[in-house]
A and B are shown apart, each in its own frame.
Chain A
Amino acid sequence: MSDVSAVRENQKNLEIQQRLDKKAAQKKMFTNLVPYFGLVFTVVFFTAVTGGRFLSADNMGNLINQGFVLSLIAIGSAFVYAHGGMDFSVGSVSGVAQLVCGIMVVAGVPLPLCLLTTVLVCVLGSFCTAGITLLLGVPVFVGSMCVRTSFAGILKTYTQTKEIAVVYQDYAFMNNAAIKAVILVAVILVAYYLFNYTVIGKYNKAIGGNARTSQQAGVSRKKMVFIAYTLMGICVGIASIFAFFRSGKVSAYSGNGYEFNVMMAIVLGGFPMAGGDRAKISSAIIGALTVTGLTNGLGMWGLDPTLISGVKGVLFVIIVALSYDRSAGKLVS
């Protein structure tokens, strides 16, 4: 008769077990570090090929200006993606929000009120997505597409006959990189706190991990999903304000493509698209920074802009293929 402990804890088997444990821990650490590696590589590569200009103070300012919108939306979206949701309407909602902002500014409404209204429009947009999905029981993909089409329609109808533009120089202060940096840092801190130290992040991740289990554990799915979409709406709203003042006008193309850039950012950052416990807000931030750095660096390097989109597209496909968790069986729930 054998004794299990005697066998498992003999010299040889102890060593074997330790070796296997170490390998598993290394693999986990590696998977967590890959997105950071991507960011570092991007920075180092472009600094090298541009002779250091990538890291110049001036380009730092550019990076902040260019990455502000994407970073903010990515951070807000992290809450929604954490519970396995998504929102394809982000760009169109932002477009309408920029339109509203533009109309109010041109009409002479005091600036703070304009900004508040812009944020409210975005919150309304995400509310619609959340509402349609939760209350009608429709898959979130469908719900967000409905909102997307509606808002895009509003934007298109308005911009067909009228143009909105502000006198650019009057609002140059809204394009200040320092202000944006401060706002971005503040948002990151608040989001980090909410995601990691309050029930908002934890419950949303639980719902993403297993909706039924979390329901049985006392998590109110409706409430949490609404909170997540509201937070995202606020972030999109702030981003929309600055997007408007950055381009100085509203067109049918305002807000175009935001949702896809966000998806690419969070995937590049290692954020699981189906949400769950592995979701980290740092992934959204890393991903957004990497995408921004990549776009900026490729342009600075002199790559033909036609190729830039192509390169980004190819990269996206590759990253998705690499991060697709075959054991989970789905990319998008």
Chain B
Amino acid sequence: MDDRLLLSAKGVNKSFGPTRALIDVDVEIRRGEIRGLIGENGSGKSTFSSIIAGAQKEDSGTFLLNGQPYHPKSMVDAQHQGVSMIIQEMGTIGGITVASNIFAGRLEEFRKLGLLNWKQINSEADKILEEIGAPEIKSTMLIDQLNFEDRKIVEIARALSTKPELLIIDETTTALATKGRRLIYNVIRKLHEQDKAVLFISHDLDELMEVCNTITVLRDGVIIDTLDKEHMSIELMRKLMVGRDLVGSYYRPDFDGSNSGEVVLEAKQISLRPFFRNVDLKLHKGEILGLGGLSDCGMHEIGKVLYGIESPVTGKVTLADGTEIHDSVQAVRHHMAYVSKDRDKESVILSASIQSNIVLPSLRTMKKKFTGFISRRSEDALADEQIKVMSIKCRNGKQLVKELSGGNKQKVVFSKWLGTDSDIFILDCPTRGIDVGVKADMYKLMMELKNRGKSIIMISEELVELIGMSDRIMLFKDGVFTKELMRSETLSEKDVIDYII
């Protein structure tokens, strides 16, 4: 069996300051394996794959590639030894041709008599592109002419140009549509036929189930288990990733979307060029109102206008008592809360402590009337309480928010609004980039708020989530309202899709 062993990793450890990303990790990958690697954010999977790909060095541990010690000095070095990686973010070099991108760093191999043989370079590049199933991309095209997906395909071509023994796909499919995904599945299939190996990292459990023949689960830097084809199932994978059984339903147990009829927030004919126009909206007390559509349908900007951080060109937003909302300071004072979809840039202060972030909107109510005095103790108490209630994973309230995982950061964001006892919540993509476990907690929290009589507007690009959580859904397309759907047991994505595309 051992001569089928392609890559072996033993006792791998990696720390970033006080954060231990990988603890005593052992992994063996054999030829012909399509190994899925799953784990929550912060589980260590990206750290592991980047070490194998030569982008980082491990703190301790041994690697053997084909039985020989393997310590790549760089990604190019790893590529030469037969290990290539494609990533999620933009990995092409702008301003040059497709062929130059594919052979980036290796152009010297084509030097003949002191000159670069462009004819050969281009034809080789075209050959690779054809092999992977993208003949419409020509080697002489300028990379900037291509869209994101096609550029990603060029990256794949580059990774394959060195004929790797092990291909690492790190969350690449998350950012691709059908064309790109199908191409990658094809590549994987071909590599499998050639008895090569693939390490496939993705969040899409269905995709992994379909493509992989073994799946390894990481959690908190520790290898939990490796599942083979027979034992794979979505529930098991989720359970191993999260570490506990997800009791109860994921979204909501009920299907009752009715409300008291009391309107707490109303928007009349609001428009914001060029994002959306003539939108009427009513939010009722104790209601979860979902806004859905494609990412550019204008719903994100509607959220901003409702909260007052953008001013509508026409129309107005009013509260139950008639107050017109025109800026966020006023919105906060009237017990409104807003969670931006751009978490790092707009919802948290990364360089500040968890405590500072949590208490920020509450400071104006915490201060004493005449002196403006805010006691350190009351700040500590508020922060500690929220950390406990929300189970924020941190050393203490003084830890900086930038050190937290995405899910914990979002918990901090929620904490700060819970701390001010807001009544109206506008949540924009509240569970984006968050692990399964934390997502479930967020949904539970939203239900809790609803049951306490709070009102929520949830803006989301994830249809499943909208359908699962909303009492009522408003759909938008190209800046215009298209359809309102009520909560129902039989509602599915298919019913919704036509109104947003």
Residues of A within 8 A of B (CB): 1-2, 4, 7-8, 13, 16-17, 20-21, 23-24, 197-200, 202-203, 205-206, 209-210, 212-220, 276-278, 328
Contact = CB atoms under 8 A, between A and B. Distances in A.
B332 interface: yes
A21 B20 CA distance: 10
A38 B435 CA distance: 45
Given A210-B348, A217-B361, A218-B331, A8 B225 contact: no
Contact of A24 (B17, B219, B347, B350): B17
Contacts of A202: 356, 360, 363, 374
B224 to A, nearest CB: 6
Given A4-B222, A4-B243, A216-B338, A21 B18 contact: yes
Contact of B353 (A21, A219, A277): A277
Given A4-B222, A16-B20, A218 B361 contact: yes
Contacts of A215: 309, 328-329
B373 to A, nearest CB: 5
A81 B155 CA distance: 44
Interface in B8-30: 15, 17-20, 23-24
Interface size on B, as a range, is 35 or more
B452 interface: no
A123 B374 CA distance: 27
Contacts of A203: 363
A194 B284 CA distance: 41
B219 A199 contact: no
Contact of B349 (A16, A20, A199, A206): A206
Contacts of B24: 7, 13
A216 B364 contact: no
Interface string B201-227: 000000000000000000111111100
B10 to A, nearest CB: 15
Nearest to B361: A217
A220 B23 CA distance: 46
23 contacts: A2-B223, A2-B224, A2-B225, A7-B24, A8-B220, A23-B17, A24-B17, A198-B372, A199-B363, A199-B372, A206-B349, A206-B360, A210-B346, A210-B348, A213-B347, A213-B349, A218-B332, A276-B349, A276-B351, A277-B349, A277-B351, A277-B353, A328-B351
B418 to A, nearest CB: 13
A13 B24 CA distance: 10
B329 A218 contact: yes
Contacts, number: 121
A217 B15 contact: no
B424 to A, nearest CB: 13
Interface of B is mostly: mixed
Contact of B374 (A2, A8, A198, A218): A198
Interface in B358-385: 360-361, 363-364, 367, 371-376
- 10 tightest A-B contacts by CB? A218-B332, A277-B352, A209-B349, A24-B18, A198-B372, A20-B18, A1-B225, A210-B349, A217-B361, A220-B329
A205 B353 CA distance: 12
Interface of B: 15, 17-20, 23-24, 219-225, 240, 243, 307, 309, 328-329, 331-333, 338, 340, 345-353, 356, 360-361, 363-364, 367, 371-376, 395, 416
A175 to B, nearest CB: 34
Contacts of B345: 210, 212-213
A317 to B, nearest CB: 24
A16 B59 CA distance: 13
Contacts of B361: 217-218
A220 B363 CA distance: 13
Contacts of A210: 345-346, 348-352
Contacts of A23: 17-18
Contacts of A17: 18, 20
B222 A8 contact: yes
A199 B364 contact: yes
A2 B222 CA distance: 8
Contact of B346 (A206, A213, A220): A213
Contact of A209 (B338, B340, B347, B352): B352
A114 B161 CA distance: 80
A218 B364 contact: yes
Nearest to B217: A1
A16 B24 CA distance: 12
A138 to B, nearest CB: 21
A213 B351 contact: no
B222 A199 contact: no
A277 B243 CA distance: 35
Contacts of A4: 219-220, 222, 224, 243
B143 to A, nearest CB: 26
A20 B15 CA distance: 9
A198 B372 CA distance: 6
A197 B373 contact: yes
B349 A216 contact: no
Given A198-B367, A199-B364, A199-B367, 19 more contacts: A8-B23, A8-B220, A8-B221, A13-B23, A197-B374, A197-B375, A199-B363, A202-B360, A203-B363, A206-B356, A206-B360, A209-B356, A210-B349, A216-B340, A217-B328, A218-B329, A218-B361, A277-B352, A277-B356
Contacts of B338: 216
B60 to A, nearest CB: 11
Contact of A7 (B222, B356, B375): B222
Contacts of B20: 8, 13, 16-17, 20
Nearest to A213: B349
A26 B24 CA distance: 26
Contacts of A199: 363-364, 367, 372, 374
A212 B416 CA distance: 15
A1 B231 CA distance: 13
Contacts of A217: 328, 332, 360-361, 416
A178 to B, nearest CB: 29
Contacts of A20: 15, 17-20
Contacts of B329: 215, 218-220
